[in-house]
Structure 1
Amino acid sequence: MWEIAKKDLLLFRKDKKALFLSFLLPIVLISLFAAIYGGVDGKAKSKPQQISICDQDNTSLSAEIISNLRNEPALEIELIDFEEGKKKVLSGKRTALLCFYSGFADSVNQGKIAPMELFFDDAKKMEIGLMQKALMSNIMRFVGEKGGKAHVKSFINQKYSDLPEEILDEINRDIDVEFSDEASTNSSFNSELTVTALSIQENIRWGLIQAVAGTLIMMLLFSMAGMGNSILQEKENGTLKRILFSTLSPYSFLFGKMLSAYLVALIQISVLLLFSYFVFGLNLFFNPFGLIIMVLSTAFAATAFGTFIATLGSTQKQVESIYTIVIILMSAIGGSMIPLFLMPDFLQKAAMVSINYWAIQGFYDVLGRDNSWMEFLIKPLVLFGFGLISSFFAAYFFHRRIYKEYK
């Protein structure tokens, strides 16, 4: 029994892929998720939520509230025109627009319902839930206190109008002194912030878009890395040696491999999108021309990156270990596995170096956003850039690490 166990342990020690999957990969993932959830040093800062404010009231009260919101670390405030603010929310540039309508201060001082409204991006329902707490605690500190005082004073003055004016003044002063913030925030004014979701079309299924785009990119990267790994399979089988001694140039061989992988990537993306269309009702006709551009650019970036990863190793097992950890890391920080808004600020910035991030944002644009063509085209251009850079390094490492062995 002990001999069998000893033999298996020795085999396990020699299996680098098994060692990698058992120890290194879990360590990397634990470190990543600890960073995401703030468990590295307990000091990780979340990126402030970007909110636009339209102040149509232009009073000292609205200005005081806005000044107080600027000091809230969870919020990043921008003053803006109403229509421009709605456009930024619809395009995804801002999470929400808070509008103080004309008559806001007068209504608060009279103890009436304060005319204000929060417009938010329908694609960011989870984020707005986190933002509302910071907004409500600040706004209602003023609205509840001032509105509550005005409501009580109005009631006293009407109910006991026959009291001498000096006594009424003293009662009002006592109300100003004794009316606590705690009482005000528990007042009925807490529920008077109208919340409205903004979307370019009704019933856009943002959760489905996130699920399809995030999963599609991650699985495409794995597929393309596997296709690229076939270069090393050809090498280990001896096929590559025979091909390179023929009239075929080494780069023709490499880019021929990339072409076949690219065609497979196009088919894979198309099948997954059509499956989502027929089974889940994903709208593929919101921006069909933009969708075609995203399919082409995403397939190119994933194909070139997968080929590049394949040229980094000497054996298939080495490459499998490399692309497993690289793709999981890219998918985690790029938004395929975890929504970006849950990550601390430094990881949200790091996400921009991943293919996943640009592909997911691009699919958001063509499946539901109201971005201009100039704003949209940044995403596929970055993906084409990823593809070109990866292709260059794939050719470089193929020549240096693989082709030179046969010269």
Structure 2
Amino acid sequence: MTAAIVRAMALSLLRDRGALAMTFLLPPVLFVLFAAVFAGTGGEVSVIKVAAARATDAASAEVFLAALHGAPDIVLERVEPAAVEARVSGGAADVGLVVRGDVAAPTDKPPLLLVTDPARNVAAALLAARIQRVLSQDLPGLALRRVAGQIEVLVGPFSAEQKSRLEQSVARAPELVASGGAELMERQPLPQRRAEPGVSYYAGAIAMLFLLFSAVQGAGSLVDERRSGVLDRIVMARGGVLALVAGKLIFLILQGLALCAVLFAVAQAVYGVHVLPHLGPFIAVALAASAAAAGVALPLAAVAHTRQQAQTLSTFAVLLLSAVGGSMVPRFLMPQWLQQLGVVTPTAWGIDAFQGALWRGEGMDTLAVPLAVLAGFALAGTAVTLWIIRRQVRLA
């Protein structure tokens, strides 16, 4: 009997080509993508977007920026010094860099100013490491001249007065170091918001992840209705397929709004995430993100023939969109090709919209683009679902 049950289940799986492919074909695909995502978190393959400006006439500044621009893991955007902070604050750059002094000479303050967003502190650390590597590997002359100049500031030239000046310099060494004479870089964080930036980011990331999971779970009723014959009776009623899809879309949006309300209420109460001060933009983002999740879930449920297919396909899609879109690892830590691929996922746009509304405090005018993209996912998914169900009804 046991052998017969095993044989029956094996035959059932082998005859269901969709379930067979999802069971043995999709896991290796997910492995390759997840390996690429998490390989970038160590920083070796991460590409950092840097808004760089030159605020000095020193010749070494241009040489340094040119060498940094040539680094394979740096995307350098040259802007005016006054625009650096705005580029970082708006999310267009991961970190800002202002060359404000001679990199090849001792200065009274660090010649390099890193403008950092607390939500992306790791990007500043990665840039600092890249700068050290550029100076040591590509521009060792600049580094040597700076060290030589610093030694000269401390001990003076070797002359008859060397001993006296050495003693004076040694006495002044703490003052020189405290004033930045021995430092190369200084960090200037953006003004701190009330909530921790990491909490604000992952509130949006977790919201997008569970919006997708809850949407695919709710949309799975399409499979049961089709297999039980209820779908045929529904589409013959008033409104037909349009009423069916519209009803499911509205329910999934309302379910998503309720999920966001609970999640962000906890984020506001426990971690001080700015929800109530930005309630209007937050509701707009939550509405668009819920609609986009429904737009992903409905076609997946419509195309699946069995619950097993729907469950496997939906899990694969949610994990894929969440990994590539940034729900698990911030996208700026991923390889460049994955960062570009993430732009086509609703997860990436939803996370950016939530962070823009709650962390950066952006208004509806700034959020118009991500909201429009999320709405586009919802409309496209709804249209595809209508086409699939109408085609199934005609073929039945």
Q: Same fold (TM over 0.5)?
A: yes
1:378 aligns with 2:376: no
> What TM-score do the two structures reach when normalised by structure 2?
0.83
Q: Within 5 A, what are the aligned runs for 1:5-404?
A: 7-8=5-6, 10-12=8-10, 14-15=12-13, 23-37=24-38, 46=45, 48-101=47-100, 104-105=101-102, 109=105, 113-139=109-135, 141=140, 144-153=143-152, 160-161=159-160, 191-199=183-191, 201-369=192-360, 371=362, 373-401=364-392, 403-404=393-394
- 8 Å CA contact 1:90–1:370 kept in 2: the answer is no
Gap change, CA 1:239 and 1:113, over 3 Å in 2 = closer
The one-letter code matched in structure 2 to 1:118 is L
The one-letter code matched in structure 1 to 2:31 is I
Secondary structure, aligned partner of 1:349: helix
Of 215-224 and 152-161, deviating more is 152-161
Q: Distance between the aligned counterparts of 2:338 and 2:233, measured in 1?
A: 46
Deviations for 1:282-316, whole angstroms, at most 9, x for unmatched residues? 22135322111101111111122211211112222
- 8 Å CA contact 2:324–2:339 kept in 1: the answer is yes
- 8 Å CA contact 1:330–1:356 kept in 2: the answer is yes
> How many residue pairs get matched?
371
The one-letter code matched in structure 2 to 1:30 is F
- 8 Å CA contact 1:62–1:100 kept in 2: the answer is yes
Q: Distance between the aligned counterparts of 1:5 and 1:342, measured in 2?
A: 50
- 8 Å CA contact 1:108–1:114 kept in 2: the answer is no
- 8 Å CA contact 1:147–1:189 kept in 2: the answer is no
Deviations for 1:207-259, whole angstroms, at most 9, x for unmatched residues? 11222211211111121112112122122233233334444523212222222
Deviations for 1:116-174, whole angstroms, at most 9, x for unmatched residues? 321112211122222210113335745542232224445665552369xxxxxxxxxxx
The one-letter code matched in structure 1 to 2:72 is P
Of 370-379 and 78-87, deviating more is 370-379
The one-letter code matched in structure 1 to 2:144 is E
Gap change, CA 1:26 and 1:53, over 3 Å in 2 = same
The one-letter code matched in structure 2 to 1:8 is V
- Specify every segment of 5 or more residues in structure 2 that has no aligned partner in the other structure, as ranges: 163-179
Offset of residue 376 of structure 1:
2.1
Deviations for 1:60-108, whole angstroms, at most 9, x for unmatched residues? 122222222222222222332222111111111112222233xx23x95
- 8 Å CA contact 1:96–1:128 kept in 2: the answer is yes
RMSD: 3.0
Identity %: 22
Q: Distance between the aligned counterparts of 2:133 and 2:306, measured in 1?
A: 58
Q: Distance between the aligned counterparts of 1:119 and 1:98, measured in 2?
A: 6
Offset of residue 19 of structure 1:
5.8
Q: Distance between the aligned counterparts of 1:365 and 1:315, measured in 2?
A: 39
The one-letter code matched in structure 2 to 1:383 is L
Q: Distance between the aligned counterparts of 2:141 and 2:182, measured in 1?
A: 11
The one-letter code matched in structure 1 to 2:127 is M
Q: Distance between the aligned counterparts of 1:120 and 1:330, measured in 2?
A: 28
Q: Distance between the aligned counterparts of 1:398 and 1:22, measured in 2?
A: 25
Offset of residue 400 of structure 1:
0.5
Gap change, CA 1:157 and 1:351, over 3 Å in 2 = closer
Gap change, CA 1:332 and 1:245, over 3 Å in 2 = same
Gap change, CA 1:124 and 1:13, over 3 Å in 2 = farther
Offset of residue 8 of structure 1:
3.0
- 8 Å CA contact 1:100–1:116 kept in 2: the answer is yes
Q: Distance between the aligned counterparts of 2:228 and 2:273, measured in 1?
A: 43
Secondary structure, aligned partner of 2:303: coil
Q: Distance between the aligned counterparts of 1:79 and 1:366, measured in 2?
A: 27
The one-letter code matched in structure 2 to 1:327 is V
Deviations for 1:168-217, whole angstroms, at most 9, x for unmatched residues? xxxxxxxxxxxxxxxxxxxx977441112114x43432211222211211
Q: In the alignment, which residue of structure 1 is the partner of 2:174?
A: none
Greater gyration radius: 1
The one-letter code matched in structure 1 to 2:133 is S
Q: Distance between the aligned counterparts of 2:10 and 2:39, measured in 1?
A: 34
> What TM-score do the two structures reach when normalised by structure 1?
0.81
The one-letter code matched in structure 1 to 2:292 is A
Q: Distance between the aligned counterparts of 1:33 and 1:298, measured in 2?
A: 24
The one-letter code matched in structure 2 to 1:219 is F
The one-letter code matched in structure 1 to 2:122 is M
